[in-house]
């Protein structure tokens, strides 16, 4: 049994066999062979070796025939040398005969040791050997498994997905009845892959560094997304304990279901609005199921996660019409395209950047690509004639940017007027407050907007200079940092002074540990992952506004994030023991 600690991604417990995407998305059908089949399986492995060698010779001949550089021939020779290494044949055959492993699993065990050895070496020669070894390993899998391969879109059996990283589009295609959880080497707790996992209710742990090389396909794996733990090949006692924990987590979810039809009102009668963040119109089914007040953040760039084309006016309007219809009168806040950084899903021609989070992204990208921006604005305006629609501009850093965005919107309105197309002339306009400069000049921006939406995911990373998807600095990503809390309070105060609605749509708003604190700071509109609406509602219904103000005043007096978190954990445990007490705090502070 081996325990790996990473970053909590999506809460819950998943238990199942590993599907290692680092092995070209192959999943081994079986781990062990039947008694008496040893000779047959050794023969299958040896035939796979022969087929791989024949493949490499064919590649070598083809390269020579077309006059390819000598480098190609040398690479093939290295691969042939590795393939003919007697150690490979001897050790794999021994694992088949003595341990009863299938050839696929034995090959995985063999190469796992060498992958770990070479992967960490900085020397260029050894780095190249790591790539060579991976190539040989995958070539053997192809021969052994042939067409018997599965990917996360066509799974036939429930698995735990293990990968170096997953794109949001890969996560979006996961079927929750087949993917029991996932673990990745890269990523942070607010990466869009993790956000997607929370939305789908899939337990996840990220930032595990070497997880792909630490296990083999078919190994039994436990994912504890609440604590950020992955357990490889658990013993019977550990397995039973986590099976019980999985059942307890399901019971808590059932308890929360009883709150669905109850209003989000504090004990002293203060009403709070609970909206949902979504990626796709189909998620509105969850918004309705959990009785959300509407959609507070529609991330439109993920509507086109297949990466085949850029959004068009038609594709936008169809998505918005569907969302409006499914919302049945509830409000829909549509964020304009936020391409860039970790959200660039299609080829826009922008090219790679050394630091994409500080570069050509979001509203900056839209200003440069009016051929994409204007069609979306046209679609949003046309949709505004069909329901309660609001426009949300992301990554506004200055008054000039806001005025420019509004000027482009007016141009689009004039175009629609000229075409006789109806729209809501008073469609509400808001901005994401996610850059420190926007916090500082919130009072200057307020007269030009109808509402603010605080995006804590980016606000935290820009305020603290912490890449939110970099596992190496994950410990520095602290929502409870005094600078972050003061920024949130300032925007809420400006909203109150200027009579502008203030929402908070970052992942911080969906963490129940911070709910009372945010209420005490004056937040009245939360926008969260649909599946946590009832969890946040439970906290809201358990406190009074006076309780919340007392908590906020105390928390704002601390100078260190860890002191804030410790205070919140202790105070919430006292105030709401049924949520933060003996059964664990539901979720760790993120």
Annotated catalytic residues are: 192, 505
Answer whether 152's CB lies under 8 Å from 25's CB.
yes
Are 90 and 106 in contact, with CB atoms under 8 Å apart?
A: no
Please give the Cα distance from 390 to 381 (Å, whole number).
9
- Residue 335 and residue 379: Cα distance in Å, rounded? 12
What is the DSSP-derived secondary structure letter of residue 265? B
By C-alpha distance, which of 89, 82, 97 is closest to 38? 97
Q: Alpha-carbon torsion 196, 524, 504, 388, what sign?
A: positive
- Alpha carbons 225 and 203: distance in angstroms, whole number: 5
Residues 6 or more apart whose CB falls under 8 angstroms from that of 430 comprise 333, 390, 391, 392, 393, 449, 450, 451, 452, 453
* Structure tokens that stand for 373 in this block: 């921006």
- Bridge partners for 39 per DSSP: none
> What is the full DSSP assignment across 465-485?
T--TT-GGGGGG--TT-HHHH
Count of helix runs (H) and strand runs (E) in the chain: 23, 16
Rounded Cα distance, 119 and 126, in Å: 8
Strand partners, 334: 298, 391
Enumerate residues 6+ apart whose C-beta is below 8 A from 65: none
Q: Which residues sit opposite 41 in a β-bridge? A: none
Alpha-carbon span 234 to 541, nearest angstrom: 39
CA distance 306 to 362: 19
- Compute φ and ψ for 201, nearest 5 degrees: 75, 30
Q: How many CB atoms lie within 10 A of CB 61?
A: 11
Using alpha carbons only, give the angle 524, 525, 530 rounded to the nearest 5 degrees: 140
Residue 247: DSSP 8-state = H
């Amino acid at each position: 049994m081996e325990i790996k600690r990473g970053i909590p991604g999506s809460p819950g417990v998943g238990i199942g066999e590993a599907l290692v995407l680092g092995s070209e998305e192959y999943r081994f059908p079986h781990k062990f062979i039947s008694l008496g089949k040893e000779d047959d399986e050794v023969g299958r492995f040896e035939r796979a070796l022969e087929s791989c060698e024949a493949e490499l010779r064919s590649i070598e001949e083809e390269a020579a025939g077309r006059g390819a550089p000598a480098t190609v021939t040398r690479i093939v020779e290295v691969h042939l040398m590795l393939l003919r290494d007697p150690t490979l044949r001897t050790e794999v055959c021994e694992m088949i005969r003595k341990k009863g492993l299938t050839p696929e699993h034995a090959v995985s065990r063999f190469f796992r040791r060498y992958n770990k050895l070479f992967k960490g070496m900085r020397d260029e020669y050894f780095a190249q050997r790591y790539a060579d070894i991976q190539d040989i390993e995958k070539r053997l899998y192809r021969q052994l498994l042939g067409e018997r391969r599965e990917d996360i879109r066509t799974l036939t059996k429930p698995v735990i997905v293990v990968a170096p990283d997953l794109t949001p589009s890969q996560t979006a295609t996961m079927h929750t009845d087949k993917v029991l959880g996932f673990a990745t080497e890269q990523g942070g707790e607010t990466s869009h892959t993790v956000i997607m996992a929370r939305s789908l209710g899939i337990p996840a742990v990220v930032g595990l560094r070497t997880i792909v090389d630490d296990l083999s396909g078919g190994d039994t794996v436990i994912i504890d997304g609440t604590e950020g733990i992955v357990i490889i090949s658990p013993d019977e006692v550990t397995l039973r304990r986590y099976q019980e924990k999985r059942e307890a987590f399901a019971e808590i979810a059932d308890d929360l279901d009883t709150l669905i039809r109850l209003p989000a009102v504090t004990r002293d009668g203060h009403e709070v609005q609970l909206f949902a963040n979504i990626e796709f119109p189909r998620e509105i089914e969850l918004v309705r199921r959990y009785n959300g007040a509407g959609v507070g953040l529609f991330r439109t760039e993920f509507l086109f996660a297949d990466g085949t084309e850029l959004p068009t006016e038609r594709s936008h309007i169809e998505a918005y019409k569907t969302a409006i219809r499914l919302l049945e009168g509830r409000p829909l806040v549509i964020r304009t395209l936020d391409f860039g950084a970790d959200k660039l899903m299609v080829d826009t021609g922008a090219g790679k950047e050394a630091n994409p989070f500080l570069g050509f992204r979001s509203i900056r990208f839209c200003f440069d690509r009016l051929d994409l921006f204007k069609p979306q604005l046209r679609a949003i305006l046309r949709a505004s004639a069909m329901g309660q629609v609001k426009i949300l501009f992301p990554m506004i850093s200055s008054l000039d940017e806001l005025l420019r965005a509004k000027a482009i919107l007016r141009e689009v309105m004039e175009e629609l007027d000229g075409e006789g197309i109806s729209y809501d002339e008073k469609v509400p306009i808001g901005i994401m407050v996610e850059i420190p400069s926007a916090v500082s000049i919130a009072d200057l921006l307020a007269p030009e907007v109808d509402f603010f939406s605080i995006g804590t995911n980016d606000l935290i990373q820009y305020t603290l200079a912490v890449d939110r998807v970099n596992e190496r600095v994950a410990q520095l990503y602290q929502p409870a940092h005094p600078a972050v809390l003061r920024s949130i309070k300032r925007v809420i105060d400006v909203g109150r002074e200027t009579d502008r609605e203030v929402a908070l749509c970052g992942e911080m708003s969906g963490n129940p540990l911070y709910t009372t604190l945010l209420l005490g700071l004056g937040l009245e509109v939360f926008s969260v992952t649909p599946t946590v609406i009832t969890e946040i509602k439970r906290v809201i219904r358990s406190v009074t506004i006076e309780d919340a103000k007392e908590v906020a005043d105390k928390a704002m007096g601390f100078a260190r994030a860890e002191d804030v978190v410790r205070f919140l954990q202790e105070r919430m445990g006292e105030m709401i023991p049924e949520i933060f007490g003996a059964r664990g705090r539901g979720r760790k502070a993120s």
